[in-house]
Structure 1
Amino acid sequence: MNQLSHQIQLLRRPSGLPTQDDFSLQAVPLPPLQEGEVLVANQWLSVDPYMRGRMSEVKSYVPPFALNAPLEGGAIGTVQASRHPDFAVGDRVSSMQGWRDTFIAKPAQLTRLPATDLPPQRFLGALGMPGMTAWAGLHKVAQLQAGETVLVSAASGAVGTMVVQLAKRAGARVIGSTGSADKVAYLKTLGADAVINYKETPDLDAELARLAPDGIQVYFENVGGALLEAALNHMALHGRIVLCGLIEQYNSQGGASGPRNLSQIIRKRILLQGLLVSDHWQHYGDFLAEAIPAFEAGALQSEETVYEGLASMPQAFIGLFEGRNTGKMLVKLG
């Protein structure tokens, strides 16, 4: 009897915020392992906001998820059986074969984890795509310089927490934005010089004027909406905006309104550039060479919000848009 792969499939395309009914848990038989293939059992699954875009039939930089098929995402697993000489039973690997407990892969779909005593799930968060996104946005897009002021939205998320820490390591002054008192306190432990609780700040424009009287050189944007509009008013001359995400719009059912003050981009000669981490992946080794020793020395920190069991994947994913995570959202499999 063939081994079963338990997987979360997309049952229908969400309208607005996804619900549990948009997903189904299925058990699918795996075919026999062929020459050149590897059987992997996942232990950690990544939960990321970008996945929401792929649940809609909208033309984008990646194709949409197929209905009645397993969703995809980052995962860390262990080789259970191998018919390929480059992979042995027990090897820890990363892949994009998430939202499932087991799968069969070709070697090109797998990456062996670097040798380190750090927790393996770190390579889905602070040492994976989110951490690399923060590093590339600051250093390859914004060209951050010591002494500059950085503003980051969604600062307590997987990308934002790394933006805060990497910007501080580069000698910047950092202002974060988040949505609760607990997250404000946490960001200050990471070194943020100031933190805005946007839910309790009625006048974001006035608050940025107070916190950044000399202007903001770099804005790392993950949200959009009111903070983007306020930030445009307080960007410094020749400031740079790294447009990483617009999570406020991901579940929008109508036309999202843009900032009313885009003329600030002209007046201040602001550079606004979109960021896709895949464009910078050739520098991933450079990022790891800096970040792994920093984590091993305790100079960088990583927070995780962990759900248990494959069936909790939809709940964890929905939780991203309800602010239920601090740092990286993960699902742990038994």
Structure 2
Amino acid sequence: MTLEIPANYQRIVLAARPRGPVVEENFRLETVAVPALAEGEVLVRNHYLSLDPYMRGRMSAAKSYASSQALDHTMIGNTVGQVVASRHAGYAVGDYAAGLLGWAEMGVADGAALRKLDVAALPLSVYLGAAGMPGMAAWYGLNHIILPKAGETVVVSAASGAVGSVVGQLAKLRGCRVVGIAGGPEKCAHVVDVLGFDACIDYKAGQLEADLAAATPDGVDGIFENVGGATLEAALARTNAFARIALCGLIGGFNGQEMPIKNSRILLINRLSLRGFIVTEHMDLWPQGLQELAQLVADGKLKYHESVATGLAAAPRAFMGLLQGQNLGKQLVKLI
């Protein structure tokens, strides 16, 4: 198979670090030449780009678990696409692959850093969501930190998002009562009616603590936290003794706000286990987790929703919307 390779492609770089909320001026759209391949490298034409909350943390110069996004370099991001040229024995032109090729129409990677995809089994985009990194974050945090037992109650914040939506469905498959927290009646309806959660609390309704108490009459045994702040505090107040908390994200503080836990004494009183995790530090478990997730999607037991922006130039605004909670499910950018 031979596929046409253009001389140039577009990419988006980080032009300036945000001071507070992300704005479009933090990014710059550029046209660059397609590079020649070295031995072992693969050229991929990206079809979809994943937008994820962790990118906001990388845009900062503050010390974190990973190095900051470099200025004037392609913004970090997971992609899926088709191989258009290869000097790697494991990849042929026409194959589909997932990689970390960033906010760009095309990208070059060492073949060892890519993951070959079966597009006959699942739609290509799903490998960036329920059967990709967000799904793995859900799978790991639930199965290796919360360790749910049938009959227990699990609370999930950002329940309509790419990670939270998977957490809740996996917990339901384990026989748990699952209560989501999301923003707005539309998202809560999706969480209950489509994803199958037992209840969903609309934090924008202004009665978070009371509504969560009503939805968790037997207390809370597990918390999957994606937001921090008020949602975590409300869930902590409902915990039973020896509850487990998987701290996946703190999207509520991505613009630099401090995220204190006001009722932290509950951690001691209820002998809670709270563990933060970075899913990319557990790559040894990815083959197992991704296989299980892909099978659940293929069997119709794991549902997903995608919010899709069109064209690379739409990525900054779509990313800003993601940070403001405007998306439903997985936020993608369709590049081709």
TM-score range, shorter chain: over 0.9
Please list the CA deviations of residues 284-315 of structure 1 after superposition, one character each: whole Å capped at 9, or x if unmatched: 22223322222112111110000000111111
Report whether the alignment pairs 1:197 with 2:202. Answer: yes
Match of 2:27 in 1: 23
Contact 1:165 1:190 in 2 (8 A): yes
Contact 2:47 2:80 in 1 (8 A): yes
Among 50, 59, 64, which residue is 1:60 paired with?
Answer: 64
- Alignment of 1:234 with 2:245, yes or no, is no
Distance 1:30 1:148, change over 3 A: same
In the alignment, which of 264, 273, 286 is matched to residue 275 of structure 2?
273
2:289 equivalent among 287, 291, 295: 287
Instruction: Give the corresponding residue for 1:331.
Output: 333
Partner residue of 1:127? 131
SS in 2 for 1:71: coil
Range with bigger deviation, 19-28 or 256-265: 256-265
Which of 103, 110, 113 is 1:109 aligned to? 113
Stretch moving more, 14-23 or 291-300: 291-300
Partner of 2:226: 222
Instruction: Give 1:257 shift.
Output: 4.3
Distance, in Å, in 1 between the alignment partners of 2:29 and 2:259 is: 36
Please list every run of 5 or more consecutive structure 2 residues that lacks an aligned counterpart in the other structure: none
Give 1:164 deviation, angstroms. Answer: 1.1
Please tell me whether residue 4 in structure 1 is matched to residue 8 in structure 2. yes
Q: What CA distance in whole angstroms lies between the structure 1 residues aligned with 2:103 and 2:51?
A: 9
SS, match of residue 141 in structure 1: helix
State the one-letter code of the partner of 1:141.
I
Q: Distance in 1 between matches of 2:191 and 2:208?
A: 18
Partner of 2:305: 303
Matches within 5 A, 1:252-263: 252=256, 254=257, 256-263=258-265
Distance (Å, rounded) in 1 between the aligned partners of 2:86 and 2:175: 46
Kept after mapping to 1: 8 A contact 2:202/2:208: no
The Cα of 1:84 is off from its aligned counterpart by 2.2
Give me the whole-angstrom Cα distance separating, in 2, the residues matched to 1:177 and 1:136. Answer: 20
Q: In structure 2, do the counterparts of structure 1 residues 228 and 35 end up closer, same or farther at CA, with 3 Å as the change threshold?
A: closer
- Provide the rounded CA distance (Å) in 1 between the counterparts of 2:54 and 2:228: 14
Q: Which residue of 2 aligns with 1:137?
A: 141
Is residue 33 of structure 1 aligned with residue 37 of structure 2? yes
CA contact (8 A) 1:152 1:219 kept: yes
Cα distance between partner residues in 2 of 1:221 and 1:104: 35
Q: Structure 1's 130 and 2: CA in aligned 2 closer, same or farther, altered over 3 A?
A: closer
CA distance in 2, matches of 1:289, 1:37: 26
Shift of 1:31: 2.8
Distance 2:246 2:264 in 1: 15
Deviates more, 1:305-314 or 1:209-218: 209-218
Q: So what's the TM-score if we normalise by structure 1?
A: 0.96
Q: Is the 8 A contact 1:239 1:269 kept in 2?
A: yes
2:75 is aligned with 1:76:
no
* Partner Cα distance (1:65, 1:126) in 2: 25
TM, length-normalised to structure 2: 0.95
Q: Residues 44 and 107 of structure 2 are in contact (CA less than 8 Å); yes or no, is this contact kept in structure 1?
A: yes
Query: Residues 242 and 174 of structure 1: is their aligned pair in 2 closer, same or farther, counting only changes over 3 Å?
Result: same
Partner of 2:97: 93
Q: Deviations over 1:51-91 (max 9, x none)?
A: 00000001111100111111111000111111222211001
Match of 2:48 in 1: 44
* Gap runs ≥5 in structure 1: none
* Code of the aligned partner of 2:141: G
Who is 1:320 aligned against? 322
Question: Conserved in 2, the CA contact under 8 Å of 1:2 and 1:32?
Answer: no
Identity %: 46
For 1:126 and 1:214, locate their aligned partners in 2 and report how far apart those are by CA, in whole Å: 30
Offset, 1:181: 1.0
Q: CA deviation at 1:116?
A: 3.9
Q: Which residue identity is paired with 2:260? A: G
2:163 counterpart SS class: helix
Deviation at 1:261, TM superposition (A): 1.0
Which of residues 146, 153, 161 in structure 2 aligns to 1:149? 153
C-alpha contact (below 8 Å) 1:177/1:198 kept by paired residues? yes
Distance in 2, Cα, partners of 1:190 & 1:12? 38
